[in-house]
C-alpha cells in the first residue's frame, strides 16, 4: 500500500531539516536561501510501534520488520505560486501526487534565517500556502466546467452530475475555503468523483507541524506563535505536532543508546518525529495488524475498515485470492496469555471469515489455498 505525506511550507521554515531527521539522511539540502529544495526528496520512514518489539520478544522472532510510511520533501511555496511564481507549477504538481500534507510552519525567531515575508506570522504563513492551493483548485474546477457544460446542456447525465459537483466546489473555493473543511456539503459519490477526476489539492487531509526554538520544548508552552497556529488548526479540525527541527536533527545524529538522555534533558518522552509519523498514520486513516513467528515479526499497514481477505492481500495476492479464514487474536490478549502457542492451546485464538473487519493491533495467521 503506497501512501505518502508531502512536507510543505514556505521557504526557510525547516522542512528539509525535519525531512533529513525523519529519514536519518542528508538527502535534502539545507541552506539559508529560498528554493534550496527543487526536486522533491523521498524517504521511507519506519512507523514507531512498541507493540512490534514486544511481539518479537514473545515469539522469539529472528527479524523485526516495522510498517513504513513515505515522506516527500517538496520545494518551498511562495505567494503567486498558483500563477507560476517561484517554483509554483512544479510544487503544485508534486503535491498533487501525495496522499496527505504535513504543513511545516515557522514558529521561531532567528535573524540569521531569512523569512520570505520579512517577519514570523504562522497564521499568515499558513494562509499563504492554503490560498495558493485553493486558487490552483479553482483553476482546475473552472477548466473542467468549461469542458462539461456543453454536453450537460445537451442532456448528458454524467456531464450534468459533473456540473452539479463542480459548481458546488467552485462556490466553496471562491470563498477562499479549502474543500476538506466543507465536505459536509458533498455526498460520498460527489467526494469520490472529485478525488478520482479533478484531484483537488485542498481535499487532502492536513496536519500542521510547528517548528519551534529549543527553549520552548517540549510542547511550545509560552510560545505565542504556537498558540496562534493551534487556534487556526482547531477551527479546521486539523492536528498540530510541535517539535524543534534542530533538536530532532541532533537526536538522530546520536547513537541510539544516547538518544534517551537528550530526550529527557528536553522533557520529551519520545522524539517529535515519532509523534509526527504517528499523526500522519492516523491522518491517512491507517491501522496496523501483525504477523509473528520464529522467522519474523512484522507490522502491516492497511486502511481502517479493511476486511480480512484484503488485509491478507497486503502480504501476497495469493493470500487474498485463496483466502479461507483468519486466525486472530488481539495484541492485548496475546500479551496476557504469553504466546501464540498458548493462545491456541487455551482456545483464545478466534477463527474469522471473509466479512471480518481487521482491527488495529490484531495478530493474524491467514489460512489460504490457491
Architecture of the structural domain at 305-368: Roll (3.10)
Looking at residue 79, its pLDDT comes to 61
Please give the grid coordinates belonging to residue 199.
Answer: 484531484
Chain-wide mean pLDDT for the chain?
A: 89
Looking at residue 199, its pLDDT comes to 93
Say how many Å lie between the first and final Cα of the chain, rounded: 22
How far is Cα 159 from Cα 139, in angstroms, rounded to an integer? 18
Looking at residue 83, its pLDDT comes to 59
How far is Cα 124 from Cα 13, in angstroms, rounded to an integer? 13
How far is Cα 186 from Cα 176, in angstroms, rounded to an integer? 17
Whether CATH 3.30.540.10 fits 4-283: no
pLDDT in tens, 304-339: 999 999 999 999 999 999 999 999 999 999 999 999
Q: What Cα–Cα distance (Å) separates residue 202 from each residue in 143, 161, 256?
A: 17, 21, 38
Q: According to the annotation, is 240 in a ligand binding site? A: no
Contacts by 214-221 with C-beta closer than 8 Å and gap 24+? 214/244, 214/246, 214/247, 214/266, 216/244, 217/244, 217/247, 217/266, 217/267, 217/268, 218/242, 218/266, 218/267, 218/268, 220/107
Q: According to the annotation, is 12 in a ligand binding site? A: yes
Looking at residue 76, its pLDDT comes to 64
Looking at residue 151, its pLDDT comes to 95
For residue 119, count CB atoms less than 10 angstroms from its CB and return exposed for 0-12, middle for 13-18, buried for 19 or more. Answer: exposed
How far is Cα 12 from Cα 26, in angstroms, rounded to an integer? 16
The residue ranges of every structural domain in the chain are 4-283, 305-368
Looking at residue 11, its pLDDT comes to 85
Q: How confident is the model at residue 24 (pLDDT cuts 50, 70, 90)?
A: confident
Looking at residue 12, its pLDDT comes to 86
Q: According to the annotation, is 337 in a ligand binding site? A: no
Q: According to the annotation, is 16 in a ligand binding site? A: yes
Looking at residue 36, its pLDDT comes to 38
Q: For the chain, how big is the Rg over CA atoms in Å?
A: 23
Q: How confident is the model at residue 165 (pLDDT cuts 50, 70, 90)?
A: very high
Half-sphere exposure of 9 (CA within 13 A, CB side): 29
Mean pLDDT of 260-280: 92
Q: According to the annotation, is 235 in a ligand binding site? A: no
Is pLDDT of 144 > 90?
yes
Query: Is residue 218 reached through a cis peptide bond, with omega within 30 degrees of 0 on the bond before it?
Result: yes
Nearest CA among 94, 82, 188 for reference residue 138: 82
pLDDT in tens, 106-116: 999 988 887 77
Percent of the chain scoring above 90 in pLDDT: 73
Amino acid at each position: 500500500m503506497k501512501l505518502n505525506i508531502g512536507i510543505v511550507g514556505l521557504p526557510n521554515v525547516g522542512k528539509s531539516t525535519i525531512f533529513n531527521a525523519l529519514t536519518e539522511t542528508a538527502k535534502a539540502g539545507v541552506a539559508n536561501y529560498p528554493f534550496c529544495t527543487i526536486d522533491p526528496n523521498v524517504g521511507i520512514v519506519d512507523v514507531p510501534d512498541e507493540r512490534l518489539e514486544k511481539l518479537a520478544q514473545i515469539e522469539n522472532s529472528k527479524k523485526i520488520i516495522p510498517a513504513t510510511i513515505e515522506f516527500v520533501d517538496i520545494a518551498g511555496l511562495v505567494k503567486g505560486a498558483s500563477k507560476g511564481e517561484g517554483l509554483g507549477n512544479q510544487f503544485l504538481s508534486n503535491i498533487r501526487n501525495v496522499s496527505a500534507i504535513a504543513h511545516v510552519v515557522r514558529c521561531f525567531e532567528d535573524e540569521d534565517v531569512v523569512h520570505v515575508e520579512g517577519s514570523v506570522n504562522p497564521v499568515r504563513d499558513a494562509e499563504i500556502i492554503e490560498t495558493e492551493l485553493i486558487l490552483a483548485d479553482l483553476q482546475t474546477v473552472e477548466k473542467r466546467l468549461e469542458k462539461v457544460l456543453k454536453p450537460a446542456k445537451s442532456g448528458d447525465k454524467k456531464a450534468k452530475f459533473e456540473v452539479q459537483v463542480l459548481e458546488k466546489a467552485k462556490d466553496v473555493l471562491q470563498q477562499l475555503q479549502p474543500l476538506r473543511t466543507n465536505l459536509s456539503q458533498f455526498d460520498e459519490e460527489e467526494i469520490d468523483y472529485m478525488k478520482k477526476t479533478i484531484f483537488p489539492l485542498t481535499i487532502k487531509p492536513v496536519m500542521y507541524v510547528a517548528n519551534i526554538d529549543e527553549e520552548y520544548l517540549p510542547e511550545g508552552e509560552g510560545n505565542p506563535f504556537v498558540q496562534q497556529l493551534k487556534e487556526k488548526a482547531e477551527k479546521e479540525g486539523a492536528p498540530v505536532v510541535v517539535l524543534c527541527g534542530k533538536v530532532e536533527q541532533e537526536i538522530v545524529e546520536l547513537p541510539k543508546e544516547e538518544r534517551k538522555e537528550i530526550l529527557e534533558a528536553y522533557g520529551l518522552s519520545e522524539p517529535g518525529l515519532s509523534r509526527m509519523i504517528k499523526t500522519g498514520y492516523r491522518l491517512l486513516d491507517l491501522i496496523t495488524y501483525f504477523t509473528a513467528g520464529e522467522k519474523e515479526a512484522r507490522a502491516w499497514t492497511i486502511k481502517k475498515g479493511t476486511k480480512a481477505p484484503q488485509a491478507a492481500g497486503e502480504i501476497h495476492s495469493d493470500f487474498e485470492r485463496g483466502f479461507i479464514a483468519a486466525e486472530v487474536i488481539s495484541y492485548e490478549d496475546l500479551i496476557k496469555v504469553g504466546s501464540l502457542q498458548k493462545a491456541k492451546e487455551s482456545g483464545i485464538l478466534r477463527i474469522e471469515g471473509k466479512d471480518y473487519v481487521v482491527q488495529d493491533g490484531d495478530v493474524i495467521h491467514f489460512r489460504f489455498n490457491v
